[in-house]
Structure 1
């Protein structure tokens, strides 16, 4: 992450807390898909109406789409060289039909023939080179730029692209497989449009193309008849209607006004499960409490350790996540790289007596903390109030401030937190290192930690070339390191959202990003 990154850098990382009902607990992170209940064989036709909480804050440019609301559209309009299977981990061909690693730092991709952009122009190797270099261009401010270690990207022939890295990078192929971290764009189209145009227009190679954009109310998409993966997509038209209030979205689904929604509140998931299909949950929503450890009360490590011991995580899981939460570090166990591994982390057991002793030994005196949370979200406030109550029992006073979402993320990105703690909830990231770079990237204004050893571990993890098990262990060790020094408090992780849909939608499958990535495989039953 760079200091010049825009608000979109953070937007995605905020999802709803505790989106699970007790009846659905335990299914998160399974990597399994949930299919629609409609019958019949796949066929073309029909209109699907979606009720969404919001439109993309960052717009439709794929490489700015770290916000959850923006990722959903990047997944329909754009594609990477590769794609991911429903487990969120398996690599599959997409705009590249094959790839090979010719050295520890060199990859060669063979492009698929006959691919066209939505404006009808053919995909060229030069478009891929332009797209990848654009991601790391500092002037573009992509949140994914810091994740790449390109030395050069070239097109030695019309159907070949070669990526050379400065150092080995184990996450490269998975970055190239996600529409938001590696969406391929038309060089000619991007150069002929302003950055503002890219917020409400698109020209990808994906299964659906934009038909209409009404600010704050509707995004209408239609099937791209020139899509390379024929006969997909099957649905003629998908209309995304903005319905900010979840209760209103639920009513719209029940009345048949919309065909599918995403819900956060467990009571809604439980009620809707009686009549509709409710997706599996994935434990990617880590409840983050970012700490300012460079100034103020939390610069004292004993104070941070006391606060960690003063938080009753079991109670927070029971109340805050309605029993569906699981133990988590900054990298949630639902991330495919972690494969459900979180476990007990140091200093996370509830021990109020030891917490009081540490506070007394810290020499800090009376500790008063300001906690900033997103406004207009009762679930966020209820959990923050429970944390406040727990910490009051060890003598720590917490002042909760509700801040509009855009202001909260702006404060974080500028480095002017105006708080000792900021609460955000993670969603699935392009690579495990992105969870860390969000909070701890060296030189970033958002970073409120000064630890060269942590930065070294983060760098080593990105460049690691070992087995999946070794990579998993590396990130598990970083989770422990962060917990040990209490650079962040993570009471639990839970599914951030659940997809819910009617019998009208058939063949639909969900996956860990919850971006409707496989909508192209579904049809109207």
Structure 2
């Protein structure tokens, strides 16, 4: 109640300080980010808000329907797999960029060739460098080739990092004082349903509807103007929502969102979240003489955790309890593996069998979600496992993992929004320094699945890899998360599991 009273007081202050300019009367959707973006291009600014907006001012060759997960033609009209290493795309005719120039094959080739060029120095380069080459067949046909078979190509092609700009923009970028290309300073010109009007580094971004947008799977947007407003303080954002100065807020704690439920004029939505939380355990003893190197102890830990109760009571209404470390909708994901049901007595018996009937002491590292880890530690304590929490910054945790000094950690992964299991398992379980399974069989299976075009065989191979991980208990998948949103009741909004708000699908009621 104290929090709600504070929020109400802030709302009254905001009411006297700022007029309500959001909403259907102005046909302007004002949405809040609590992150400061310095560049409006996700290739050089790895923020979810910028990634989401790229879906608005850029288009990709294919579009993943957020409800059916079907891949639909967007800037490509059709496609065919020429062979296991080559995809050919026929491009949509009559599409124009926001500057009035016509879209053709040169724009695709030049955009993607720059993205895979090391000199362009894009962030998260693995999301684009699955392409080996992009070539022009004719003015409205391109071919994309890979070094190995890449069955996840369409998921990657539909991702926010595969936006296309005019070839002239890439070929004539602004220059630094030293005369080097400054790609991050390029003008934002796309073919998308919205065009950029203004952007202030660290501040606001304004987009306006592209009135010339083509008929396609994204549809023509109903809302005229999108205004991304940067508000770093959550209570201020909530206050502005309550008085109508903003329309849409996320990034709030569950307690804050719960305080808004039932308030007039505000809708609270518990949306899905692709972020998967899991425990990673030192199965090979890299950190030293640790009881966790004994698989019976790892199984005891798994059986000690009441994932269902934690998910229902703490994570949020849209959480999913997981047996495997992947999001349920991801292509290749299955939860049909050993899940280690909550069974404290079995946990105690396993500790006794391993020679630790008097209990053990361990340290669990983490960089976020301490409240969830405390619930896990409470479960562990009940079976005789005393655990200390070591909270680190993400960089510190990553360094400790890479150096082999971590006994056990609670962490998570959002797959960069990719609805394909390769976005998580193939990133985290291929014997990289931060992989604490270090299992050659798992890597072999993942390498095979990552290059298997046949979807049924691919899924079966991923399942084998997940079964080995479950047997070794080097990962304990916990749950996917729940992402709360609060917004004006006048807005019709659809939440996606990747966390990208697609406002071109929104409308006023």
Same fold (TM over 0.5): yes
Deviation at 1:200, TM superposition (A): 8.7
Correspondence for 1:85? 65
How far apart, CA to CA, are the structure 2 residues paired with 1:206 and 1:420?
Answer: 44
- Aligned equivalents of 1:470, 1:65: Cα separation in 2: 37
Aligned to 2:9: none
- Choose which of 207, 211, 222 in structure 1 pairs with 2:208: 222
Give the distance between the partners of 1:457 and 1:261, measured in 2 at CA.
Answer: 42
Inter-partner Cα distance in structure 2 for 1:63 and 1:175: 14
Q: Determine the structure 2 residue equivalent to 1:434.
A: 423
Question: Residue 206 of structure 1: which of 186, 192, 205 is its match?
Answer: 192
Aligned 8 A contact 2:34 2:251 in 1: no
Name the CA shift for 1:270/1:385 in 2 (closer, same or farther; >3 Å).
closer
**Residues 301, 485 of structure 1: 8 Å contact kept:** yes
Shift of 1:492: 1.8
CA distance in 2, matches of 1:356, 1:416: 28
2:245 counterpart residue number:
257
Instruction: Report the Cα offset of residue 108 of structure 1.
Output: 1.1
Structure 2 Cα separation of the partners of residues 412 and 215 of structure 1 = 33
Find the aligned partners of 2:384 and 2:232 in 1 and give their Cα distance. Answer: 38
- In 1, distance between residues paired with 2:241 and 2:82? 51
Relative to structure 1, is the Cα distance of residues 433 and 232 closer, same or farther in structure 2, using a 3 angstrom cutoff?
same
What's the secondary structure of 1:75's corresponding residue? helix
Alignment of 1:483-522 (within 5 A): 483-495=470-482, 497-506=483-492, 508-517=493-502, 519-522=503-506
| Residue 259 (structure 1) shift | 0.8
Q: Once the two structures are superposed, what CA deviation does each residue of 1:164-187 show, in whole Å capped at 9, x if it has no partner?
A: 33343321122212223x222344
- Corresponding position of 1:243: 231
| Structure 2 equivalent of residue 32 of structure 1 | none
- Residues 184 and 204 in structure 1, CA contact (< 8 A), matched pair in contact too: yes
Deviations 1:135-155 (A, max 9, x none): 444553543626865453211
* Counterpart Cα distance in 1 of 2:382 and 2:45: 41
Q: Which has the higher contact order (CA 8 A, sep 6+)?
A: 1
Q: Which residue of 2 aligns with 1:34?
A: none
The yes-or-no answer on 1:320 pairing with 2:305 is: no
2:444 counterpart of 1:461: no
Q: TM-score, normalised by structure 1?
A: 0.77
| 2:320 counterpart SS class | coil
Partner of 2:109: 129
Change in 2 beyond 3 A, CA 1:251/1:470:
farther
1:293–1:487 Cα contact (<8 Å) kept: yes
Question: Does structure 1 residue 348 correspond to structure 2 residue 340?
Answer: yes
SS of 2:49's partner is helix
Correspondence for 2:275? 285
Distance 1:216 1:105 in 2: 42
Aligned to 1:480: 467
Q: Which residue of 2 aligns with 1:72?
A: 52
Q: Distance in 2 between matches of 1:320 and 1:498?
A: 13
Task: Go from structure 1 to structure 2 and tell me whether the alpha carbon gap of 1:279 and 1:347 turns closer, same or farther (over 3 Å shift).
Answer: closer
Residues 1:101 and 2:81 are matched in the alignment: yes
| Pair 1:369–1:137, CA change in 2 (3 A) | farther
Partner secondary structure for residue 490 of structure 1:
strand
Deviation, 1:476, is 4.1
The answer to whether the 8 Å contact 2:445/2:464 transfers is: no
Q: Tell me the distance in 2 between the aligned counterparts of 1:115 and 1:513.
A: 28
How many correspondences in the alignment?
469
**Superimposed CA distance per residue, residues 396-415 of structure 1 (whole angstroms, 9 cap, x where no aligned partner):** 3322233345x357647966
CA–CA separation in structure 2 for the residues paired with 1:433 and 1:151: 18
SS, match of residue 80 in structure 1: coil
Distance 1:305 1:146, change over 3 A: farther
- Structure 2 CA distance for partners of 1:150 and 1:52, relative to 1, 3 Å: closer
Quickly say closer, same or farther: Cα 1:248–1:398, change in 2 above 3 A. farther
Deviation of residue 161 (structure 1)?
0.5
Whether the 8 Å contact between 2:274 and 2:414 is mirrored in structure 1 is: yes
Contact 2:76 2:90 in 1 (8 A): yes
Change (3 A) 1:351 1:96: same
Kept in 1, the 8 Å contact 2:330–2:419? The answer is no
Matches of 1:201 and 1:416, distance apart in 2: 44
Change (3 A) 1:464 1:187: same
What CA distance in whole angstroms lies between the structure 1 residues aligned with 2:109 and 2:135? 6
* Pair 254,338 (structure 1): closer, same or farther in 2 beyond 3 Å: farther
Aligned-partner Cα distance in 2 for 1:198–1:413 = 32
What TM-score do the two structures reach when normalised by structure 2? 0.79
- Structure 1 position 350, deviation (Å): 2.4
Q: What SS does the aligned partner of 1:216 have?
A: coil
Look up the SS of the partner of 1:453 in the other structure: helix
Partner of 2:295: 301
The offset of 1:425, in angstroms, is: 4.9
State the distance in 2 between where 1:446 and 1:203 align: 38
